[in-house]
Amino acid sequence: MSIKLAEHSGFCFGVKEVYKKAEQTIEENKGKNGKMYTCSPLIHNKNVTDELKEKGLGIIHSPKEAEDGSVVIVRSHGEPEEFYRKAKDKNLRIVDATCPFVKRIQQLVREAKNQGFHIVVVGDSSHPEVIGINGWCDNEASVVSNPEDAKAVTEDRLFLVAQTTITVQLFQEMIAVFEKENKEVVVHNTICRATEQRQKSCMETAIDSDLMVIIGGSDSSNSKKLYEIAKKYCGNTYFIENIETLPLKEVEKCNRIGISAGASTPERIIKEVIATMSELFTENKKDNMMHDLMDEIEKSLRLPRSGEIVNGEVIQVSNREIVVNLGCKKDGIIPRDEFTLEGDQELTDLFKEGDEIQAKVLKTDDGDGNILLSKKKLEVNEHWDEINGALDNKSFVNAKVVKEVKGGVIAVYKEVSGFIPLSQLSDKFIDKADEFIGKTLPVRVTRVDQKRNKVVFSHKAFLSEERQKKVQEIWDSLHVGDIVEGTVMRFTEYGAFVDIGGLDGLLHISEISWGKLKHPQEALKIGEKVQVKILSMNTEKGKISLGLKQNKPEPWTIIDEKYQVGQIITGKIVQIKDYGAFVELEPGLDGLVHISEIAYKRVTNIADEISVGQEVTAKILEIDKDRKRISLSIKETLEPPSYQEEAAPAPAEEAAPAPAEEMASPAEETLEEAAPAAEVVEEEVPAPTAEETVEEAAPAEDQE
C-alpha cells in the first residue's frame, strides 16, 4: 500500500492567518472580563470551532448579539460594509482577519459600482464570502452559478468577479454566456491561485489512485469541490471530516491511496488520517512476510531465463571476468567484453567482493555450467527504459547531434541513436543543420519503436516549452491594476496591440483617450513607449486588456480646477450639427456652441461660418456637471457691429445750392436711403433690380 498526500492540502494562507489571529486574541484577552466572538463560525470545520469555543471564543451572527465593547473577529470570508458600521455603533473592537484576496474583491466591486457598472459575482449566493462581497456594492450584485442565472442578467455594462473557491471551468462557462449575449463585460478572475493549485493537485492525485479520501468540513465549499473533482477521476472517492468516518475496510482493498484536504482542514486531522492508514498498512505487511519467505525459497530453486534481468552479489573479481552469486544452483559469469569500460579502466578498479550488481542473462549455460551474464546489454536496456520513460512522462533528455542525414540529423542519447527532423531542430525555419553538429541538445522523445531500434526526438518541443514558461512567468508577475511600460507594436481598427515584456495586450480604442478617436494612430505611433494600466487578464484565453487614458484623471472630475463660467478658451471644431457646433476643449471634454451663439448676424448654415478642424475662440456660458454639458459662445468673443446715425439735413434757407453735377440723382438717393433698411431686414426686403432702379430714375431725368 502507498499513501500519497496531494500538494497544497490543508490550511490555505487566509485560513492560517485567521486561525493565528484567533489564537492571539484568545491569549491577549485571558483573564479579562470582555467577551470574545467570531461573527459566524471562524472556518468551515466543526473540530476547529469546537476547540476555539472551549477556549472562550463564542459565535454570534450579527453585531447586535455581541455585548458592547467586546472583541469580534471577522473571519476570512469577510463581512458586508454595513457590518462595520453596526460594530462601530456598539463600540465593538474588530479584529479583521478577512482574507486579503477577498478584501481585494470587495474593493474592486465597490469601485466598479461607483463607476456605473452592474456587478456580477460567479458563485454560490448563500456562501458567506459572496454575501460579504455583495454588501460592498449595496447588495445590488447579480450572483450566478449556471447559464440560466447568467442569461437572466438584463444589464449590458457588467463587472464580473468570482467567488475565490469556485472552479475555473464554471467561471469560463459564465464568461462565455455573457460574451454570447454581446454584453460589455470587464472580467476579473478572482479565483484564489491557491484554490486553482489545490484543485489541480487533487485531480493529479486522483488520476494515480485506486481510492481517494477528501478531508474537510461538511459545510466547506472548497472541500466539496475537491470531492467533485476527485470523484470525476477516481470513482472510489470518499468525503470524511475525521478518522471516525474513514472507510477502513475499503482502504484495505486498495494499494494506492490518495488524500486531499480542504482549505479549512487542520494539519492535525490530516496526520491522524495518514497515521491510521499507515498502521493498517503495517499489519498487512506482517501477514505478507511469510508469503515473501516462501517466494524466496521457490526462487532459489528456479534458474533464470535468457533475457531476464537478475541481481546478485560479486563473489570473485579479476581483470578477465566477474563471478556473481545469483542465489540459485548456478553462479553467473560476466566476461570483460560484456562491460562498458572507459580508457584504461580495469574490472578490479570498478568492483570488489560483496558489491551488489545487476546484469542481463545471455545464456543459462555457458558450457562450463555457469550462467552467462552481460552488463553492457543491461545498460542498453536501461537506456531504452529511460527513453520509454521520457516518452510516457513527456520529459526531456540530452542528446548529442552526431551527423546530418536526409531530412534531419542523427542524435545519440547514451547508446541509443535517434532521428531529429529538420523541422524539429528549432522553433524557427532552418534549411541546414550545420550549426547543430556536435552540440548536445535537450530534446523530447516523440516516438519509440524499440523492436526496430528507432527513436524520434524534438528540440523544438523543448524550445516551445521554455518559451511558454517565460510567458507564464510574465503572467504571474502581472496583476490587474498594475502600471507597466509597453511598446506599441501594431494597429487595428479597434485598437492597438502593446508589447508588455513579451506579452501582447490589447489597448482598445476606447481606452486610449478620454476623447473620441477614429483610429488609434491619431494618438499613438508604432514603436512608441507608453505607460499602460492592466484592466483585466484572462489566463485561459491568454488575453490582456490595457488602458492608457486611466493614467490621467477623467476631465469631468477635475473640471472645476481648469474651467469657469466666463472663461475664454481656444478649441477645435469636432462636429457640426443643424443646431450648433461641438468644440473640443481637451480630449474627453466637448462644449456646444448653439447656432444662435455663432455670430451676431442670423446664421442659417453653420458650415458657411466655421468648419470641422478649425480652431476657434469661445466663451464659457454655462457648466452643467450633473448632465455633463458645457455651453459656449463664439460671438461673445467678437466685437458687436456698430451702426452710424444718418446726419440731419440742413435748413432749406441756409442750404447752398449744389452744382448740378454734384447733386445726387433720385435713384441714388433711393439706394442710399434703402441701404440701412436692407441691413436690418436683409432677408425680408430684397435688393432692387436694375429695371426697378431705372424706372425710379426716369422722373428725375424728365425734371432736368
Please identify which residue in the block is written with the cell numbers 450579527. Answer: 62
> Quick one: 335 exposed, middle or buried, by C-beta within 10 A (0-12, 13-18, 19+)?
middle
> Quick one: 14 exposed, middle or buried, by C-beta within 10 A (0-12, 13-18, 19+)?
buried
The alpha helices in 403-494, defined as continuous H runs, are 459-477
**Beta carbons within 8 Å of 445's beta carbon, 6+ residues apart:** 387, 390, 391, 397, 418, 455, 456, 457
Neighbours of 610 (CB within 10 A): 19
Half-sphere exposure of residue 565, counting CA atoms within 13 Å on the CB side? 7
> Alpha carbon of 484 to those of 173, 193, 427, 487: distances in Å?
30, 22, 29, 10
Tell me 529's DSSP state.
E
> Alpha carbon of 121 to those of 81, 105, 192: distances in Å?
17, 10, 14
- The helix or strand, by DSSP H or E, that contains position 573, with its residue range, turns out to be strand 568-577
Catalytic residue among 23, 54, 129, 615: 129
Distance CA 515, CA 584 (A): 9
118 DSSP β-pair partners: 158
186 DSSP β-pair partners: 159
56 DSSP β-pair partners: none
In our burial notation (b when 16+ CB lie closer than 10 A, e otherwise), range 263-276 reads bbbbeebbebbbee
Cα of first residue to Cα of last residue in the chain, in angstroms, is 139
**What is the maximum span of the chain, computed from C-alpha positions, in angstroms?**
169
In one letter, which amino acid is 641? Answer: P
581 DSSP β-pair partners: 576, 593
Distance CA 687, CA 548 (A): 58
Distance CA 657, CA 659 (A): 7
Rg (CA), the chain: 44
* Sheet strands (E) in 471-525: 483-492, 495-499, 504-508
Distance CA 34, CA 71 (A): 7
Is 636 one of the catalytic residues? no
**Beta carbons within 8 Å of 603's beta carbon, 6+ residues apart:** 595, 596, 609
Please identify which residue in the block is written with the cell numbers 545471455. Answer: 362
Kindly list the catalytic residues: 129
